[in-house]
Amino acid sequence: MTSLPSPRTILLQTTIAHDGNDWAIERFGRLATLLAGLRDGQGRPEFKVIARNRDAGDKPDSVLSRLDQSDIDVLWLLAVDTGQGLHAGECQAILRFQQRGGGLLVARDHMDLGSSVCALPGIGQAHHFHTTNQEADPQRQVNDDTGTPYIRWPNYHSGANGDYQAVTAHGAVHPVLVDPASPTGAIRFFPAHPHEGAISVPPDEHARVVACGRSKSSGAEFNLVVAFERTRSRGRAIAQSSFHHFADYNWHPGAGCPSFVSEASGQGMAANPAALYDIQRYVANTARWLAGA
């Protein structure tokens, strides 16, 4: 595995201000710890990790609005808002960040959760929501998960929080999915979630679907990961169907969750160490790929 100049800087950023009863950055602590613990071939830290929520108030965020002027190399944007999580100026700064070669991961969730990302040029069009940029196929504009009636489509049911789902590599195995230790040569498991969002490849983008899941409710296949290759005008990027793939609660339910989560959790991740290994491998692969390895 290629070593990077050490360390690169990763910003883990949510689209909400701190809220102890929401999916704030404090609920992604294991992700931050994992990234900060990655080492190169010489044993040096590969990444400096900055983990933060957006600033409180209605003003542009002090970091996102100047992202292109920072020394940050990769942004993991965890879109946990209900539609107002990004200012127009922040979206333009993120675009300029990409234009200077910055790597970008954008993760959202069901229905309209994280829909502010639609304002991001390019990768924003990879994300489909209930009221904006809907999936083009009307047959997919239906509730897949029916266990939580107030959460409407897109809401692909991959399993309970705390359980895992099978991952299918789409086409040639992409670098973010590579695992030489796997029987298939690829990552096989992701954390499950009762209602994942919808992503696809936007028209005229140098991107492809690299991983798919399958609903345990309807049997429908849905996209888990869309990868955007580096071009002359933009750095690499990843569209992720759910930020729950990275949440502490989905890696280990004992970490706790906001009080509004009503679904019963499972224990699949704890019972199958290979599933936790796989998402950790995916995180490491993705961080390195987005940073240019």
- Domain holding 69: CATH number? 3.40.50.880
* Average pLDDT of the segment spanning 29-34: 98
Other CB atoms within 10 A of residue 37 CB? 13
Task: Kindly report the average pLDDT of the chain as a whole number.
Answer: 96
* Sign of the dihedral through C-alpha 73, 124, 278, 164: positive
Kindly report the CA angle at 267 between 264 and 269, in degrees rounded to 5? 125
Residue 195: pLDDT over 50? yes
At 206, is the pLDDT very low, low, confident or very high (cuts 50, 70, 90)? very high
Within a domain: 249: yes
- 154 upstream amide cis, omega within 30 of 0: yes
* Average pLDDT of the segment spanning 97-119: 98
* Average pLDDT of the segment spanning 240-248: 98
Within a domain: 3: no
Tokens of 45: 């830290």
* Average pLDDT of the segment spanning 198-217: 97
Residue 3: pLDDT over 70? no
Range of the domain at 81: 8-290
Q: What is the pLDDT of residue 200?
A: 98
Q: What is the pLDDT of residue 6?
A: 67
Within a domain: 189: yes
* Average pLDDT of the segment spanning 18-24: 98
At 119, is the pLDDT very low, low, confident or very high (cuts 50, 70, 90)? very high
**5 Cβ neighbours under 8 A, 6+ residues apart:** none
Residue 4: pLDDT over 80? no
Report the percent of the chain where pLDDT is more than 70: 98
Within a domain: 1: no
Residue found by looking up tokens 């809220």 in the block: 19
Rg (CA), the chain: 18
With b for 16 or more beta-carbon neighbours within 10 A and e for fewer, the 160-195 pattern comes to bbbbbbebebbeebbebbbbeebeeebbbbbbbbbb
Within a domain: 138: yes
Q: Each residue of 48-80: pLDDT tens digit?
A: 999 999 999 999 999 999 999 999 999 999 999
Report the percent of the chain where pLDDT is more than 90: 97
Residue 1: pLDDT over 50? no
When divided into structural domains, the chain yields a total of: 1
Q: What is the pLDDT of residue 192?
A: 98
* Average pLDDT of the segment spanning 89-96: 98
Residue 5: pLDDT over 80? no
* Average pLDDT of the segment spanning 31-36: 98
Q: Each residue of 248-265: pLDDT tens digit?
A: 999 999 999 999 999 999
Q: Which of 112, 43, 50 is nearest to 80 (CA)?
A: 112
Reduce the DSSP state of residue 17 to 3 states and report it: coil
